[in-house]
A and B are shown apart, each in its own frame.
Chain A
Amino acid sequence: MRCAMSRQTQAAAQLQRLTLCAAVVAFSHIASAAPSAQAILAASDAIRNPDKPFGLTVTLVEYRNGKQAGSNTLNVYSKADTNSGQFRSLIRFVAPARDANKLMLKSGNDLWFFDPSSKASIRLSPQQRLLGQAANGDVVTVNLAKDYHAQLVGEEATADGDRQMRRCYRLALGRAATDVTYDHIEMWIDVTNNRPVKGRFYAESGQLLKTAYYRRFQSQLGVERPTETVIIDGLDPNWVTVMRYGDYAWREVPEAWFQRDYLPRFRPE
């Protein structure tokens, strides 16, 4: 009796293994047929972010309640960290005149602000950086695939930044690291070319923090990239920021530049 049960158990176990093997084979066929969510996200990151050190000029125009409330121009040099894959940036404020030639270093959570007038190097907390428009940089030069786990929710038609319907992968991103700005993100990525179309960025509480539309795709540094991001504040939809990118160029950016002591020396070309 015990022997029969043992044979039955063995057979059941064998069946289970066969079923599992079949499922794995079947799943791997499916997986090879469609790109993984993480691969889609990485391809989308590569469209937003050049794969070598680069410089660009960012113009931010801010609207409140339908009226222009301010504008800033920044020179940015960025380079990916070979370890984390995340971008580190040296930023020089160009306009308005009040802030001209002030500098900021962003290397992960190592954030420094330098005022050439007072020679003050001040370390900032991420919360301080979140003040004002600087936080919007997170929506642009960030490699989401490095910090977030992506899941494919499905494919759907969604309106892009030019209000054209576009077939998109809809990805749900959950944070893989603890020190990221956004707890979770929804991304819509064009199924035909992996272009980022739209993103919604959320706090841990579920509160929508901002919505970003990527648009005005142009050939920059060899790839069709979005040259404008429209950001809508999640708490106050009447707060809209338009970020435009120009003057793309490859730049030599030595590792030695990403430290507080280099900030007084930084002068973009």
Chain B
Amino acid sequence: MRALALGLIVAATPALATDEDAAALLLADQTTAAPEGSRNWRVFAEAAVRQSTGAGAPQHGERLSFDVRYDGSFAAGWRAVVADRLDVNRLGNVAGNTNVNTLKEAYLSWQATPERVADLGRINARHGVAMGYNPTDYFRAGALRWIVSPDPASLRENRLGSVMLRGQKLWDGGSVSALYSPKLADQPSTGAYSVDLGATNRRDRWLAAFSQRLSEQISPQFLVSGGTGQSAQLGFNLALLLNKATVAFAEWSGGRTRSLLAQALARPEDAAFRSRLAAGFTYTTESNVSLTLEYEYNGTGLDRDGWNELRRGPPAAYGVYRSFAAKLQEPVTRENLFFHATWTDAMVRHLDLTAMVRYNVADHSRLQWLEARYHWTRVDLALQAQRNDGDPSSDFGALPERRTLQAVLRYFF
């Protein structure tokens, strides 16, 4: 019947350039979708099952997560933001189960004028333009309570903000912001439902950031950050459009600081000017594939000789160093390479494929991660595989799980 109607319309409108145009317009006539209203809430639940193999017996685990984010205005110029996540983990072959709540954000924002804003509360203040390693993301240290996925986007999203007072002034093409984050607790908490101020507010910290657009192409950001027991660190961010398909980025932080090893093992003072850097580019093909290659340099990490020496030394020192670096989200060694590829609508509409590789230049170990994600209107189904290769004491070879397979089902309310 519909074909007949379409045929009649096409026949009746010979001046239409093509039959396809007539068919498309007929289809458009049937559109009834009404615009959806904006919502202040975003809520989803996620169920995951995973199977991993490593040094011991295969591990089976399940996870149920609830993620809530509220972002709403309650008076002219006033805005409240709350973001919280609960991960209920059930691991086979492991005594006890782990529930972890992460209060990611809870703050009030006051926009006194369109160009002046002040925020107060727990804020996930994040800086940086690189994808795999962000030297200028100064407030990431200690912010992870539970690692859901090695995907950098997940690590940035599922973390604690720091309690702070922040002010921002904007003008045409630029802005300046300053924040102060006070010491509020002495130690991190392992309590399942703790707000864990000790993880993020163990010392006084401050940061100032300045951005200015110099042209349509160039809009650098300069930062300076410091705090109790830490010399001021300078930072710089730049993302540059090279051509219509390529964005290059560079992110640098430098200042007088101790090496990671001296901090982790309380070794003698070795403060010196050290740099950290991430630089790379993202190229997007005409077939919807975005490829990112990133070089990462951590001047506070161990060089190849130092890393090899630590690996051959006492296991306790090696373990303490690794866990200290992981807590700060710093690479353990000087140089790493990061590769990320996303294929949107990969052959099938609504199917996204993502691949990621982290490569340690010093010990040649690798972390490889693959994800296939299909999304319906309210449901995402993802299959993830992770493989860690390298010598047993290498950066990624030492991870307890060598192979992991995970299926994730997410429902948006």
Q: Which residues of A contact B (CB under 8 A)?
A: 57-59, 61, 63-64, 66, 68-71, 73, 75, 92, 94-98, 100-101, 107-110, 115-128, 131-132, 157-159, 161-163, 165, 179, 211, 213, 228, 230, 232, 237-238, 240, 242, 244, 246-247, 252, 254-257, 259-262, 265, 267-268
Closest 5 interchain pairs by CB? A237-B20, A97-B412, A123-B239, A127-B245, A119-B126
Tell me whether A57 and B35 are in contact in the complex, defined as CB-CB below 8 angstroms, given that A117-B83, A261-B168 are known contacts: yes
The answer on a CB contact under 8 Å between A252 and B114 is: yes
B10 (CB) vs chain A CBs: closest residue: A163
Residues of chain A within 8 A of B95, CB atoms compared: none
Nearest CB of B to A234, in Å = 10
Name the one of B211, B216, B350, B380 contacting A70, with C-beta atoms under 8 angstroms: B350
Docked pose: A63 CA to B104 CA in angstroms: 38
Residues of B in contact with A (beta carbons under 8 Å apart):
9, 12-13, 15-18, 20-25, 27-28, 31, 33-39, 42, 44, 69, 71, 73, 79, 83, 109, 111, 114-115, 117, 124-126, 129, 153, 156-157, 168, 170-175, 177, 211, 213, 216-217, 219, 239, 241, 243-247, 249, 282, 284-286, 288, 290, 344-345, 349-350, 375, 377-378, 380, 412-413
A60 to chain B, nearest CB (A): 9
Contacts of B282 in A (CB 8 A): 125, 128
| Chain B residue contacts of A240, Cβ below 8 A | 24, 27-28
Residues of B within 8 A of A267 (CB): 71, 73, 79
Sample (25) of A-B pairs whose CB atoms are under 8 Å apart: A73-B36, A94-B37, A95-B36, A109-B244, A115-B153, A117-B83, A125-B241, A128-B245, A131-B284, A159-B13, A159-B21, A161-B28, A163-B12, A179-B244, A232-B24, A237-B23, A240-B24, A244-B33, A246-B35, A255-B173, A256-B171, A261-B168, A261-B174, A261-B175, A265-B109
The answer to whether B42 touches A165 (Cβ under 8 A) is no
List residues of chain B with CB within 8 A of the CB of A230.
24-25, 28
Query: Does the CB pair B111–A265 fall under 8 Å?
Result: yes
Q: In whole Å, how far is A3's beta carbon from the nearest beta carbon of chain B?
A: 62
A122 to B375: give the CA distance in the assembly, Å: 22
CB pair B21–A232 under 8 Å, yes or no, is yes
B244 touches A94 (CB 8 A): no
In the complex, A255→B211 CA distance in Å? 15
